[in-house]
Structure formats: structure tokens, C-alpha cells
Amino acid sequence: MALLPKNVFFPALLVFCLTVEVLARNGPYTPPNVTRLTDRFSHLSYNRGFSEFYGGPNIQLISNGSIVNIKLNKSSGSGLVSQNKYHYGFFSAAIKLPAGFSSGVVVAFYMSNADVFPHNHDEIDIELLGHEKNKDWVLQTNIYGNGSVSTGREEKFRLWFDPTAQFHHYSIIWNSHHIVFLVDDVPVREAPHTVAFSSVYPSKPMSVYATIWDGSQWATHGGKYPVNYKYAPFVASFGEMVMDGCKLNPTEAAQSCSKSGLSSLDPVDGEEFVKLSRQQSMAMEWSRKHLMFYSYCRDPSRYKVLPPECNVK
């Protein structure tokens, strides 16, 4: 092997180390092939499926409502809330994240019923956390059930692509069988509805939210890197919205999601949604091996006694 001159050895070593660091963060990963569930459903326009949640001046509908830009600036964040509540289903959005310095910025696609059940609400979260390093966004997933907000069930993942360059799909399957988080149709996390998880399993109808906000106090190393509004406005674009499932009917005393002639694509009880296929399970093993860097089930400093579902094999 040829030896490097002394005057270039350390710069070359530094470049090598930085390259290794970048690869370790972002991959040179190619995800496994999976069934593209996001191609199976029709898209709902934002002007028909959503209402303003907050920050109206920072919300911009474009392309006849098929895309919405939501903005964070020094005045306010912004967000939308679905016009319907859902009791189970498949929920997905194509999202393009703000480019450039994004530390402290949080873009969220999530479900919640905190407006109706303020003290025992359910929540299923996809949160995309900005970073002090450009493009190095973090995906955080979380589940709350029956007001278990003091015991968050977070898992964090790095992405294998630049989420600021183009749209990528972030999806949630939620039914009585399991909750699954997917990125570009690749499952990254599954929470089966087991006996161990039943007391905190989200079970009440929820609205769907799309928001951008200032998470300076916690989003990056406990607030070490707050939002720098010198780089504002921060704009997140949402497109290809899917909300397909069992809509809450306020006039019915008991909610029924049963359908005659059940299709395999029914997101409540269809065979493609009640359990992961072998292909999807293998893809999830890949994502958790290469991309996950935090799980509440691996945090004994936070949980002296791990939640019961963490002990289920």
C-alpha cells in the first residue's frame, strides 16, 4: 500500500473519518423491495379533507389542494386537522421537509383525540425532527394510549435518503390487530395488539393532523440546538394524502367497521393489513438493524422496570 506524505496524512484521515460518520448516519443503504401499499389508495385533497388547525397565514394550498405547504416562522407554526375522525384505517402522506439548517424544527403527521379526551387521550405519532447538521433529519415514532403521556413509547430512526430533496411517503396502519409505521412502504416499527399492550393500545376515534412547529426545548439533544430563525421560513410540503378506514359516525351509538365482501385491501380487517407479510417482516428487520438508534425498550436508565410489551418475544 502506498504511504501518504506526512503533510496530507491527517487531512486525509479526517476526510475518511467524516465519510465514515456520514455513511454511518445516512446509510449507503438500499431498502428491500416491499408491496407498495401507498399505490393502492386514492388521494384526498387537503382543501376537502382538512380544516385549519392553527397558523392560517402560514398555510398555502397549491395544485387545486392536492399539495399544501405549511410554514414555521418567528410568528407562528401552522397545521391542519382532518374534518373526520377515524376508528382504525390506513393513513399516509407524501412529505418534503425543509432544506438547510433545521435544528429544533418538528414536522408531524399524527393522530390524536386530545380535543375530546384531554385526560386520557390516545395518540399515534410520526415526528420528523430537524437536526443541527443539514439534511440529517430524524424520524421519531411514538404511541400513547388512554392518557399514558408520562410513559412515551418512542423509537427513533435515521433515514436512508435526503428527505429535503423530494417527497417521501410516511404511513400508519392502525387497526385492532396492530399499529405499523412505514417509510416509503418499508415497515420500521410494529406494535401488535397483545395482552401486554392492551391497556395502552389506542382504541378511541382520532383525528389526523399535519403540523410544523418549534420544538426547541426538546427536539435536539434536550434543546441544545434551538430553532435559528435566521434561516426561516421553514416550509414543509404535504401531498398524496390517504385517509382510508372507518370514519366515526357521531349519530351511531355503536361504531361498526364491518363490510360485506371484505377486500384484502380493507385497512381494518383486510388480509394485507391484519399482519405483516414475510416480505414486510424481513424489510422491518432490515430497517431496525440499520436505521433504528433508540428504542424505549432498550432504555433501562429511563425505565427501571421495562413496560410489559418490551418483554414479549
Active site residues: 123, 127
Segments of the chain assigned E as strands: 50-54, 59-62, 67-72, 78-82, 86-96, 105-112, 123-129, 138-144, 155-158, 168-174, 178-183, 186-192, 207-214, 234-247, 292-295
Q: Give the rounded distance of the alpha carbon of 150 from its chain centre.
A: 20
User: Nine-digit cell at 30?
Assistant: 438500499
Joined together, the cell numbers standing for residue 143 give 404511541
Q: How many residues does the chain have?
A: 313
Sign of the CA dihedral 29, 33, 35, 38?
A: positive
What amino acid is encoded at 183 in this protein?
V
Q: Is the dihedral of CA 45, 130, 225, 111 positive or negative?
A: positive
Residues 6+ apart with CB under 8 A from 122: 111, 112, 113, 144, 145, 146, 202, 203, 204, 206
Specify the DSSP class assigned to residue 96: E
Classify 278 as helix, strand or coil: helix
Determine the 3-state secondary structure of 232 from DSSP.
coil
Nearest to 52 by CA among 233, 245, 207, 215: 207
Lookup: cell for 99: 432544506
Q: Exposed (0-12), middle (13-18) or buried (19+): which is 24, by Cβ within 10 Å?
A: exposed
